[in-house]
Amino acid sequence: MTQSNTLTVQILDKEYCIACPSDERSNLESAARYLDGKMREIRSSGKVVGADRVAVMAALNITHDLLHKQQHLDQQAGANREQVRSLLNRVDNALAQDTDE
């Protein structure tokens, strides 16, 4: 892989060279900053010792947040579908009454 397709990010004071398409560099940099922040937050709490354990706890926390948000979006999508169905039924009823007159 060429040097232009790699990105070096720093997480918990360690550098990682990662293959990355140029159009995804900004997203990867943001993800690395977010992960670094979460890992530093966990490490500074003093409850978790060791980079591997900090990384696992950060991954679990991030995954939990992602799944929670996805569940919320799924529930909202379901509510939106129900609202659209209700509106369509009202339109159908209004059109049916209009043709009866």
User: pLDDT tens-digit profile of 2-33?
Assistant: 456 999 999 999 999 999 999 999 999 999 99
pLDDT in tens, 73-101: 999 999 999 999 999 999 999 998 877 66
Distance separating alpha carbons of residues 61 and 15, to the nearest angstrom: 22
Torsion of CA 46, 47, 49, 51, to 10 degrees: -90
Q: What is the pTM of this model?
A: 0.73
Domains of the chain: 5-99 (3.30.160.880)
Beta-strand relationship, 14-19 and 6-11: antiparallel
